[in-house]
Amino acid sequence: MDDEPSVCPACGAGPENSSDPERMWTSICYCGHPRFYDYKHDDGTCPCIAGR
């Protein structure tokens, strides 16, 4: 998995709106989405999209 900063898949906010823009793997977006779940959006297993 790459650690390139990207927009939050949950709310679309940029990496500057996260708790640790330098280490997105350990960062949490201001919306509360743990950024280590970003890749789980690709396979549909992220808890924040499970209820959609």
Domain ranges of the chain: 1-52
SS3 assignment, position 38: helix
**What pLDDT, in 10s, does the model give residues 28-44?**
999 999 999 998 998 99
Residue 10, number of CB atoms within 10 A of its CB: 18
pTM: 0.78
Six token digits for residue 2: 């790459």
The proportion of the chain whose per-residue pLDDT surpasses 70, expressed as a percent, equals 87
Report the C-alpha gap between 23 and 46 in whole angstroms: 19
Containing 39, the helix (H) or strand (E) segment is: helix 38-43
